[in-house]
Each structure stands twice: as structure tokens, then as C-alpha cells.
């Protein structure tokens, strides 16, 4: 109870100068208690990341614009498939059980392509990790991208780090409340759009937008928008770095998968230590003592979206977004020192430099080669199967009750339910041949009988299947074995494409 009351009191600091100091101290890693006294529960330190400019910030903006642009706009991209299929480039059509991706159409039974994509995604993640650590975490992960966007909104409304912290530490005025309200409103709007874009992948986007605007959309659409609004708002607005620190499995897996040659955002302590002010450095150098380039300005900590001090080395909290590189470069430039005191580098190289050796980079390693090879193989197999997959199919279910029928004169009859699949977006005529037994007569229920007995013409609608019951009677003089093989051949009479499927012809 006392502890709880104390923590509640901490949430609302008294409006004195000490409060700001405490807030700053809390935000710094230095504020942590010594190792042997770490409590099992760590109260959250609110992070106020400072804005920054530079190469990696630009890369992050570009990644943000491209990924969010794709996410929000892709449902509106049209792709003409003719009259018999939807004209949305990317569409998950659950009612019709089809997935459309530009020129690719996936039927439910081909969902193994999704498995392939997941393998590609996992191996791609491993490859990124082997080359340059947490590229995914730093630039591409949705949690990072949306949090980045939410940070930008926060800075726009509540001001940059210093202004924001000062205002939070003061007695909150109506203006403070108003700023917070506006910020949360914008966050909620972004979150709402995120949910809104999500549902557009599952229905014709322009139609659904119209329905959503007029309140005519199905309840499920509103429900999903609500769910994703909630998750986006809470994850990107409130949970932020805690998702990476406590919820995400990848930092743990990544740490186990990485090796010493992978590039990581690294503080080059060979150059930075010992830290000292510019004046002190001049003094030390004049005395012939070592002086590092790091002036302990804490800019790298202040810009960090997860509140990490990169100078303490690799850590689970570091998502390797490179913003500390930009922050440090800005300072180094002002001081007239060389940039990249923090850079993509390896600990090996830091140690080599300290030993006076030249750094080296080893991109081609067993793991990078293997990951690339697996990517190429899985990707190649997928492309090959996609390119060569047939546009028609036949599946057969033999009658189970009865397995066979004996007629008056002793001849045997088996019945099958066959399903013909037409994956093209036009009507097609197929010829079904029943073959494999010496003398059979196939009767197709509901279709006109043909003189030649074992063949039948069936028309199947665009992107559809058709079920036909086939009754096969064997008129051969010698009775067939208890189980003979029978062949169903499906031929597109226009293109000549053929698929065959074998089944059994049972007897006593």
C-alpha cells in the first residue's frame, strides 16, 4: 500500500525544480541502482526522445513513408482481371475463398505458398541479422514505424524533448491538457486509419470506404477497425519501447543467432574513452595523456527511442535504428572532430584498432552464404511452382457405400464423385476420359449420354469448380481383380492442357 502510494505520487511530480532534475535522472541510465540491488520489478521510465537529423534519420523517414504508403494505399491499387474476378490488386476474398495478389491468384488448397512466404520472411530476417544486426527492428518493424510516427506527432504537439519534459514537470495548465488532448486525438485518428486500411484488404476498397462513410459496412468491418485502432493506439502510443523490451521474442532469438562479425550500432570506445570535456581533453593532450572524443553530452541517449545508452555496449533494448549515430555525428561535426564515433561496426574491429591493427569486414561467411542459399532455393522453388502450376484440376472421391455394385448379370459397377477445377477466369470445356480398364462404360449423371461411352464433355464456369457423378460399369469378360486401377484424364479441348488422376475400381 505504501509502495503503491509512493509510486502514484511519483507519477505526479511536485512543480519544483527538483522534479525536473528527477525526471531527467530517471530518464538517464545512470539513475539505475547498483547491480546487487536490482528489484524484480522495474518501474517504467518515461522516454522523451529528442529529434535528430542525419543519414539514418533520413533512411528511417524513407522507410516510414514507403512502408506506411504501401500499407495505407495498396488496397486502392486496381488490377484488371476481366469481368469474372475482382479488380483489386491485393485482395483476400474470404467469402469466395480466393487470395489475389496482382497477377497471382491463390486458391485455398494452395495456401502452402503462404508457408513458403513465411519461410522466406524468417530466413530473410536471419540474413539481415547476419549482415547488420537488427535492421528489421530499427527500420522496418511495424512497431518501430508506427511508434516513430507517433513520436513525430508528439514532438509536433508537445514540443521536443526539453520543452515536453519541462511542461510535464510543471503544474499542468489548461494549455497542457489541450496539447495532450490534441496529441491523443491525432494518435487515435492515425490508429483509426490503420484499422481502416486493414479491413480494405478484405473487400473492394472503394466500395467499403463508401459503406464505412455511410454506416452501411458490415459489423465485422467496424469491429476490426475498433480492434486495430485499440492495438495501434496502445502499442505505438503507450507501450512503445516496452513492446521491444518485454513482449517481442525477436531480441532474444536475435541475440542467440548473431555472431561477432555482424555489423551492429557500436560505440567505438577505442576512440571515445576516456570521456572528457573539450577543455579537459586539450589539457590532457597537452600533458601527453590519453583523451577520448566522447564529451559525455548524452545526445546519443536523449535521441534513443528505447532509452538505451549505446556506450554501455550491445543490449537487448537497442533496436539499432542508428539515430544515436546521427546525434553523435552532429556533435562531432560541431566540435570539428571526425564523425562516426558511433557507427555500424563490430567489437572485433574496435579491439583491432586498439591493438593498432586495421579493421576488417567479413560479409561472406558460412551463415550469410547459407541463408542466401536457402532464400534462393525456397524463392526459386516457389517461383518455379507458381510459373508451372496448372490451370485445371481434378479430384476424385470413390463411393464408400457401397464400394462396388454387382448388377443382375454379375457385371461390376463403381461410382465416383469427381470435382473439376477451372482456375482460369473464363468458361472452359473439358473432355473427361475414363481409361485403364479393358471395357468400361462411364455414365455421367445429369449430362447427356454419348455413344462412345467412356468420354464426356463438361463445361466449367470461370474460376469455378464443378462436381460430377460418374458411374463406371465394367463389361470385360474376365472379372477384374478385387482392386484394379482406373484413370481419369481431363483435357481442355481448346488448349489441350491435360491432367490425370488415378483411382481404384473395386470388385468382390
Segment lying near other proteins (by CB under 8 A), choices 2-10, 92-100, 230-238, 303-311: 2-10
Shortest gap between Cβ of 507 and other proteins (angstroms)? Answer: 13
Cα(first)–Cα(last) distance of the chain, in Å? 82
The cell numbers describing 400, all together, are 464408400
Measured distance CA(164)–CA(157) in Å, rounded: 9
Segment lying near other proteins (by CB under 8 A), choices 71-79, 140-148, 189-197, 400-408: 400-408
Interaction of residue 95 with other proteins, rule CB under 8 A? no
* Minimum CB distance to other proteins smaller for 60 or for 413: 413
Report the candidate in 222, 223, 209 with the shortest Cα–Cα distance to residue 73: 209
Interaction of residue 5 with other proteins, rule CB under 8 A? no
Residue entry with cell 503462404? 114
The cell numbers describing 304, all together, are 534513443
Query: Which residues inside 101-160 make contact with other proteins, applying CB under 8 A?
Result: none
Interaction of residue 469 with other proteins, rule CB under 8 A? yes
Helices then strands, each counted (H, E), the chain: 18, 14
Shortest gap between Cβ of 117 and other proteins (angstroms)? Answer: 36
- Return the SS3 of 396: strand
Interaction of residue 227 with other proteins, rule CB under 8 A? no
Segment lying near other proteins (by CB under 8 A), choices 105-113, 229-237, 398-406, 478-486: 398-406
Report the candidate in 360, 324, 425 with the shortest Cα–Cα distance to residue 54: 324
Q: From the CB of residue 37, how many other CB atoms can be counted at a distance below 10 Å? A: 7
Q: Total number of residues binding other proteins (CB under 8 A)?
A: 22
Shortest gap between Cβ of 313 and other proteins (angstroms)? Answer: 32
One of 219, 408, 451, 478 touching other proteins (CB under 8 A): 408
Measured distance CA(218)–CA(211) in Å, rounded: 8
* Minimum CB distance to other proteins smaller for 130 or for 486: 486
Measured distance CA(286)–CA(276) in Å, rounded: 14
Measured distance CA(295)–CA(299) in Å, rounded: 10
Site string for other proteins, 411-430 (x = CB under 8 A): --x-x---------------
Interaction of residue 387 with other proteins, rule CB under 8 A? no
Query: Which residues inside 427-466 make contact with other proteins, applying CB under 8 A?
Result: 443, 445-447
Contact (CB, 8 A) for 228 and 191: yes
Shortest gap between Cβ of 451 and other proteins (angstroms)? Answer: 16
- Which residues is 486 bridged to in the sheet? 503
Measured distance CA(118)–CA(368) in Å, rounded: 19
Please state whether 331 falls in left (phi above 0), alpha (psi between -120 and 50) or beta: alpha
- Return the SS3 of 303: coil
Residue entry with cell 573539450? 278
Interaction of residue 478 with other proteins, rule CB under 8 A? no
Please tell me whether the peptide bond between 274 and the residue prior to it is cis, using omega within 30 degrees of 0: yes
Segment lying near other proteins (by CB under 8 A), choices 162-170, 217-225, 410-418, 478-486: 410-418
* Minimum CB distance to other proteins smaller for 4 or for 214: 4
Shortest gap between Cβ of 11 and other proteins (angstroms)? Answer: 13
- Return the SS3 of 306: coil
Interaction of residue 402 with other proteins, rule CB under 8 A? yes
One of 30, 215, 249, 410 touching other proteins (CB under 8 A): 410
One of 175, 407, 451, 478 touching other proteins (CB under 8 A): 407
Given the rule CB under 8 A, which residues bind other proteins? Answer: 1-4, 399-402, 405-410, 413, 415, 443, 445-447, 469, 471
Amino acid at each position: 500500500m505504501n509502495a503503491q502510494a509512493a509510486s502514484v505520487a511519483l507519477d505526479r511530480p511536485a512543480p519544483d525544480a527538483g522534479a525536473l532534475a528527477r525526471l531527467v535522472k530517471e530518464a538517464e541510465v545512470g539513475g539505475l541502482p547498483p547491480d546487487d540491488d536490482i528489484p524484480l520489478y522495474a518501474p517504467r521510465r518515461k522516454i522523451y526522445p529528442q529529434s535528430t537529423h542525419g543519414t539514418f534519420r533520413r533512411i528511417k523517414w524513407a522507410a516510414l513513408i514507403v512502408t506506411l504508403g504501401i500499407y495505407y494505399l495498396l488496397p486502392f491499387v486496381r488490377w484488371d482481371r476481366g469481368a469474372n474476378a475482382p479488380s483489386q490488386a491485393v485482395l483476400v476474398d474470404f467469402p469466395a475463398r480466393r487470395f489475389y495478389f496482382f497477377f497471382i491468384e491463390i486458391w485455398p488448397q494452395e495456401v502452402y505458398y503462404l508457408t513458403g512466404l513465411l519461410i522466406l520472411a524468417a530466413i530473410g530476417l536471419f540474413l539481415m541479422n547476419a549482415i547488420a544486426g537488427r535492421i528489421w527492428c530499427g527500420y522496418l518493424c511495424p512497431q518501430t514505424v508506427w511508434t516513430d510516427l507517433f513520436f513525430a506527432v508528439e514532438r509536433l504537439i508537445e514540443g521536443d524533448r526539453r520543452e515536453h519534459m519541462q511542461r510535464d514537470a510543471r503544474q499542468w495548465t489548461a494549455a497542457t491538457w489541450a496539447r495532450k488532448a490534441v496529441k491523443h486525438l491525432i494518435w487515435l485518428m492515425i490508429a483509426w486509419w490503420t484499422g481502416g486500411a486493414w479491413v480494405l484488404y478484405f473487400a473492394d476498397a472503394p466500395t467499403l470506404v463508401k459503406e464505412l462513410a455511410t454506416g452501411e459496412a458490415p459489423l465485422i468491418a467496424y469491429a476490426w477497425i475498433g480492434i486495430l485502432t485499440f492495438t495501434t493506439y496502445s502499442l505505438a502510443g503507450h507501450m512503445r519501447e516496452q513492446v521491444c523490451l518485454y513482449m517481442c521474442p525477436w531480441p532474444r532469438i536475435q541475440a542467440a543467432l548473431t555472431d561477432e562479425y555482424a555489423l551492429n550500432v557500436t560505440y567505438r570506445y577505442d576512440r571515445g574513452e576516456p570521456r572528457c570535456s573539450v577543455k579537459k581533453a586539450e589539457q590532457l593532450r597537452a600533458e601527453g595523456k590519453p583523451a577520448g572524443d566522447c564529451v559525455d553530452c548524452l545526445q546519443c541517449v536523449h535521441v534513443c527511442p528505447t532509452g538505451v545508452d549505446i556506450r554501455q555496449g550491445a543490449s537487448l533494448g537497442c533496436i539499432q535504428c542508428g539515430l544515436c549515430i546521427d546525434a553523435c555525428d552532429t556533435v562531432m561535426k560541431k566540435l570539428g572532430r571526425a564523425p562516426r564515433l558511433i557507427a555500424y561496426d563490430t567489437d572485433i574491429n574496435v579491439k583491432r584498432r586498439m591493438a593498432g591493427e586495421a579493421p576488417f569486414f567479413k560479409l561472406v561467411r558460412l551463415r550469410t552464404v547459407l541463408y542466401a542459399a536457402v532464400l534462393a532455393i525456397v524463392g526459386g522453388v516457389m517461383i518455379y511452382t507458381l510459373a508451372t502450376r496448372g490451370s485445371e484440376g481434378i479430384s476424385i472421391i470413390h463411393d464408400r457405400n457401397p464400394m462396388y455394385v454387382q448388377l443382375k448379370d454379375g457385371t461390376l459397377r463403381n461410382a465416383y464423385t469427381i470435382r473439376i477445377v477451372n482456375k482460369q477466369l473464363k468458361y472452359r470445356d473439358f473432355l473427361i476420359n475414363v481409361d485403364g480398364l479393358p471395357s468400361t462404360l462411364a455414365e455421367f449423371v445429369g449430362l447427356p449420354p454419348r455413344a462412345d461411352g467412356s468420354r464426356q464433355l463438361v463445361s466449367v464456369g470461370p474460376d469455378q469448380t464443378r462436381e460430377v457423378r460418374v458411374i463406371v460399369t465394367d463389361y470385360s469378360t474376365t472379372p477384374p481383380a478385387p482392386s484394379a486401377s482406373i484413370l481419369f484424364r481431363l483435357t481442355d479441348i481448346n488448349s489441350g492442357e491435360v491432367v490425370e488422376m488415378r483411382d481404384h475400381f473395386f470388385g468382390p
